[in-house]
Structure 1
Amino acid sequence: MSDPRAASVVILGSGAAGLITAYTLLQDGFTNVTIITRDSTPGGVWADERIYPGLTLSSVHGEFRFSALQMPPARDPNGRLSGSEMRDYMQRFTATYLQDIILYGLEILQVLRSDDQGDLRWTIKVQDVKTGEQKALKFDRVVLCTGGHNRPLVPKELSPSAAKGMSFKGRVFHSSAFHAQIKHLEAGGNNESVFGDVAVIGGGKSAQDTAAYLANKGIKVTIVFETADAFLAVSKPLPDFIRRSRFLSIISPHSTLNSRLERFLHTTSLGSKITHFIWKRMIAGSFAAAGVTDHSPLKNTHDAFWVIRTNDEGVPKPDGFHKLVNAGKIKVVSPARVTSYSSDGLVLNNGEKVRADTVVVATGYTSSWHPIFDETTSANLGLNRHPPDPNILKAENEWNNYVSLQNPPHTHPSHEQWASSIYRGIVPANNLLNKDFAINGAVFTTNNGYAFEVIAHWISSYFLGDKNLKLPSSPEEALAYADRNSAWLRKRYPGALLWANESYSSNLAFWTWPQTVDELLKDMGLATYRSGGNWLTWPFKVIELTEIEHLKEERDVMRKQGQ
């Protein structure tokens, strides 16, 4: 095909990553762009039918949006965004820019590469969620944006069938179905009191949000977890020069230390002491702001420095999870693990029993990729993780000079863990040279709006075949990069690749998303460190989306220069 812009592109998923990818491709002149989603409204996890009651974001106003569309001020005086506000923003973005390109209500059954008379194309098999009708749609290129919060993960021993097998007659549902459960109650003229006593299984954000919502409705709630998500909280909102700058990314080591300040903080004994002193103060300050005492079970959290399971609570609300626990309105049983159901509730590994009429299983999500790719397609693409190459295991020694990473938490040895096969978290290495398949939304960051938008530009340059886009020369070179990055992730976040599902962990650029975004900008030959500042002020310059609102024009200039 002479003009890449004439190629048909399908985007699988209408979440934030899918929407900004479609917008960017259209702005770049692609004339045949389609989004497929099983939802009836746009937004992915922010779709109208998927936001659960009481949902709040870890982001504050201005941190999760796109450069093309402003966001109305947050209703919360501290700038915290609710799920409904994000839903409204995603719907407004779609109505403004993408209204006619989304196919709603189509469940993706299978993604296959097909050969049309020597011309490789993609076949997307879908099923209408209302009628059950199945059909096959064909496209030239695919962008996979199904995300990591699409398919609930329910351990076998916690499933509804396991509950039935133990004669438990109450309700059992995953936290992702909480919205639907509430709507069902309302449709029948009932309220949350019908749930009776509720047990919530899990220590993540959805578990905490669900418990808080029900407790505020006067429901007796017990939450059970082994270890809760880490969290950051403050007694008053952080200034933007701390929260929305490079400060947090600098005190979290990246695989490449590009500044003398970062090298000092992470490769010297004094710098490491300063780094961990700051983190310990933040963690201690968070417990204090949330009113968590030394003997509280809420102290049983992950260490925020070492994990990506960290929630930003901001200024804790009186009706928020931690305050409700402190007030005795939510009972916490921790550390404990649910081993089975009983006829009237749950049995824990410590022998204790929890009585419940309703059980909410908030145990996370599994990969959204495996159900739609068969083994042959996954292998040919190079989509799956693989055991670490024994030779690559030695790559972890590359970061032995990082003093700040000494004394990590105990986990499985590296050879028992996994390695990604996805270059930059965007392109499966095996498929690098075909330039017909990419991923957005699988790089895990704390600033999705900014990161997804830059990734969308990278993908568009990749599909356009821009000469200025720096790529590996071969699939083997791309795989070697992916293996090295996985070695870094095993070093930086011990054990994270054992539990984080592939569809949102192709790269873990959590606090260090600014460095990761700079690498992508550098790939495209574009300016980095866009927030500016001098040798003293650059760590505290606020990062704004205005920095990337003209990336298309910048890329156009680079493309002309590269011709």
Structure 2
Amino acid sequence: MSTDYDLVVVGAGWFGLAAAKVYLELHPIENILVLESSGTCGGTWAENRIYPGLKSNNLHGTYEYPDFPMDPEVYRVRPGEHIPGDVLHRRSRFHTRVDSVEPAPNDTWKLQISSPDSNEPITTGKLILATGLTSTPNFPQFPGVEKFQGPYFHAKDFARYSETVKTADNVVVIGGAKSAYDVAYTYADSGVQVDLIIRPDGHGPVWISNPYVDFGLRLEKLLLVRFLTCFSPCPFGDTAGLGAFRNWLHGTRIGRWLVDKFWVTLGNGVIAANGYASHPEIKKLQPWNSPFWTGTNLSIYNYPHNFNDLVKQGKTRVHIANVDHLTEHEVHLSTGDILKADVVVCATGWDKKPPSYFDYPGANIGLPQSTEEQTCLIAAADNEILTRFPRLRDQPQLGSAVAPDTSGDPHRLYRFIVPPNFVQTRNLAFAGALSAICTAIVANSQALWISAFFDGKLDRLASTDEEITREVLLHTQWGKWRYPCGYGAIAPDMPFDALPYVDLLHKDLGLRVKRKANWFWELFEWYGPEDFGGLVDEWVGKHPVKEA
């Protein structure tokens, strides 16, 4: 087995596979390796995460690589249907974990790995970390958990414990996001009594809608209509030439009034459709803040039966409370309620912090400036953001009147891809270190951007440390102010801003940003994977690859 590579990709999910595919297309004779700690590829959709009945939130046609459309005959899914979980899994055998990364001579990297076959270190000229944001679960250990007599696991491992759907009588699910709803539905629909616990000091219940909203429009498509993306304040939103309109919307009182009306109308439509006011138990599931502030934890109903009916019927009981402690067969809440539990499932999200691979002396995948300098630069970035987007000053209250945390340090990456210290060395990139609704589109564009960046062939790239730092801080601080009810304080979270982000990458690549037939369709027709097919060939046509 070779131990020297031109490129190593760590992670075989959506972003890792796209990055490897595009790089290999442009460097067909280079030695490339993909490492995956799991036994299969697929990331979130790896085989060991698929449990019976799991489906994507996306309907057919929006969750596929631009150059690999999902043929209905091959993948057993029709237009208008949610994609089964097992269809989103691709088989592979890796079982190789990266333990640490450290620099090697000539701007290369040495990776210490653990594998059934070999633990010998490998070296690579370039490294792409595509472990994403859903690799390390946020798994709370409540007082008394060691006394609990039943299965206690994170929702990531639900597939391993899927037999409990048949054996358990009472299940407690902790969490208010879509994964908690998925687990609760699977149990309750099988006749298991479910208690769903949503903590009062968190972000509250998820915004969730039917796939189709008013006038038969698909919600996931509306998020990729260029005109509608203008209603989200975004510092890189003017790449497609709508800067004047965006500035008017977010910089004037009349514009902000229209923006507020847009979000109120959107939220009221979902609230009415879900019938939160129709039943006191359903009311507990109504989101606590405007959809304006939410991130990509918004979701879509994809169940055969109505989830809210299970709540009305008492098959799923909702508690707004904290877990105080566990005993042998019970969960004790802060309200004093005691719940019977054969199983406890923590659908409590993910640890979205940067990976800890870089543990060598002098390692710095953040900003190069001192802490004192960064404090001043962050204040300047905050001032620029809040001056340009005054609406963001009026931050929401979270949970029990807990203000959103705007302290801390999110992952600081140029274009949400490259650590500032490595823009010049061009040997390190992160793929998928963000959360977006249109995963496949963003993965495809990031993959091409990374390959062009490694080759020094981007048409546009910040040239000074000051310019790099300013853009990194502007974009990452914006995330903290824009999506306090999502992941914005930790990682890029862009449910309504993915299309402008793709525009930004394509502008760097020298590719067409406006890809529709005319101005009307450019503004009002949704962007889907089919609009980005042949992107690599288009780029090669403008940047010919030299023959070896």
Counterparts in 2 of 1:414 and 1:282: CA distance versus 1, 3 Å? closer
- Counterpart CA distance in 1 for 2:294 and 2:267 is 13
Output aligned runs, 1:224-303, within 5 Å. 224-226=197-199, 227-233=204-210, 234=212, 237-239=216-218, 242=222, 244-258=224-238, 259=242, 260-293=244-277, 295=280, 296-303=283-290
Which residue of structure 2 lines up, in the alignment, with residue 47 of structure 1? 46
Normalized against structure 1, the TM-score is what?
0.84
Counterparts in 2 of 1:52 and 1:270: CA distance versus 1, 3 Å? farther
Which residue of structure 1 lines up, in the alignment, with residue 418 of structure 2? 427
* One-letter amino acid matched to 2:507: K
Normalized against structure 2, the TM-score is what?
0.86
Shift of 1:280: 1.8
- Counterpart CA distance in 2 for 1:513 and 1:376 is 36
Shift of 1:379: 1.9
Shift of 1:81: 2.2
> Which is further off, 415-424 or 433-442?
415-424
CA contact (8 A) 2:296 2:435 kept: no
Counterparts in 2 of 1:368 and 1:46: CA distance versus 1, 3 Å? farther
Output aligned runs, 1:532-547, within 5 Å. 532-534=517-519, 536-547=520-531
SS in 2 for 1:49: helix
Which residue of structure 2 lines up, in the alignment, with residue 152 of structure 1? 137
Shift of 1:106: 1.0
Output aligned runs, 1:160-559, within 5 Å. 162-164=144-146, 167-182=147-162, 185=163, 192-226=165-199, 227-233=204-210, 234=212, 237-239=216-218, 242=222, 244-258=224-238, 259=242, 260-293=244-277, 295=280, 296-313=283-300, 317=303, 319-334=305-320, 336-367=321-352, 369-374=354-359, 376=361, 378-379=363-364, 389-399=375-385, 400-405=387-392, 407-410=394-397, 416-466=407-457, 468-494=458-484, 496=486, 500=490, 505=491, 507-534=492-519, 536-559=520-543
Q: Deviations over 1:341-362 (max 9, x none)?
A: 1333212222222221110111
Q: Deviations over 1:181-218 (max 9, x none)?
A: 12xx4xxxxx6232231000111111110000011111
Which residue of structure 2 lines up, in the alignment, with residue 66 of structure 1? 65
CA contact (8 A) 1:120 1:140 kept: yes
Shift of 1:494: 3.2
* One-letter amino acid matched to 2:234: H
CA contact (8 A) 1:432 1:475 kept: no
Counterparts in 2 of 1:533 and 1:323: CA distance versus 1, 3 Å? farther
CA contact (8 A) 2:152 2:344 kept: yes
SS in 2 for 1:473: coil
* One-letter amino acid matched to 1:121: T
Q: Deviations over 1:147-191 (max 9, x none)?
A: 111111112326xxx412xx3212211111110112xx4xxxxx6
CA contact (8 A) 1:417 1:498 kept: no
Shift of 1:232: 3.0
Shift of 1:488: 1.6
> Which is further off, 20-29 or 386-395?
386-395
Shift of 1:60: 2.0
Counterparts in 2 of 1:67 and 1:550: CA distance versus 1, 3 Å? same
Shift of 1:111: 1.8
Which residue of structure 2 lines up, in the alignment, with residue 80 of structure 1? 82
Which residue of structure 2 lines up, in the alignment, with residue 94 of structure 1? none
* One-letter amino acid matched to 1:8: D
Which residue of structure 2 lines up, in the alignment, with residue 97 of structure 1? none
Counterparts in 2 of 1:207 and 1:383: CA distance versus 1, 3 Å? farther
SS in 1 for 2:423: helix
The structure, 1 or 2, with the larger RCO (C-alpha pairs under 8 Å, 6+ apart) is 2
Q: Deviations over 1:354-402 (max 9, x none)?
A: 2211101111121474343316364267699989523331322224243
- Counterpart CA distance in 2 for 1:171 and 1:386 is 44
* One-letter amino acid matched to 1:105: H
Which residue of structure 2 lines up, in the alignment, with residue 110 of structure 1? 100
* One-letter amino acid matched to 2:389: Y
CA contact (8 A) 1:247 1:539 kept: yes
- Counterpart CA distance in 1 for 2:475 and 2:349 is 25
Shift of 1:103: 5.9
- Counterpart CA distance in 2 for 1:20 and 1:386 is 36
Gaps of 5+ in 2: none
- Counterpart CA distance in 1 for 2:371 and 2:306 is 41
CA contact (8 A) 2:293 2:486 kept: no
> Which is further off, 29-38 or 538-547?
538-547
Shift of 1:35: 0.6
CA contact (8 A) 2:62 2:438 kept: yes
Counterparts in 2 of 1:394 and 1:371: CA distance versus 1, 3 Å? closer
Gaps of 5+ in 1: 1-5, 92-101, 186-190
CA contact (8 A) 1:422 1:429 kept: yes
- Counterpart CA distance in 2 for 1:304 and 1:484 is 23
CA contact (8 A) 2:137 2:156 kept: yes
> Which is further off, 375-384 or 259-268?
375-384
Counterparts in 2 of 1:86 and 1:180: CA distance versus 1, 3 Å? same
- Counterpart CA distance in 2 for 1:42 and 1:368 is 22
Counterparts in 2 of 1:498 and 1:78: CA distance versus 1, 3 Å? closer
CA contact (8 A) 2:195 2:319 kept: yes
CA contact (8 A) 1:242 1:540 kept: no
CA contact (8 A) 2:224 2:496 kept: no
Shift of 1:560: 4.8
Output the aligned Cα RMSD.
3.0
Q: Does 1:126 align with 2:113?
A: yes
Identity over aligned pairs, percent? 25
- Counterpart CA distance in 2 for 1:150 and 1:357 is 27
CA contact (8 A) 1:113 1:377 kept: no
Counterparts in 2 of 1:287 and 1:438: CA distance versus 1, 3 Å? same
Counterparts in 2 of 1:199 and 1:561: CA distance versus 1, 3 Å? closer
CA contact (8 A) 2:366 2:413 kept: no
SS in 1 for 2:298: strand
CA contact (8 A) 1:383 1:421 kept: no
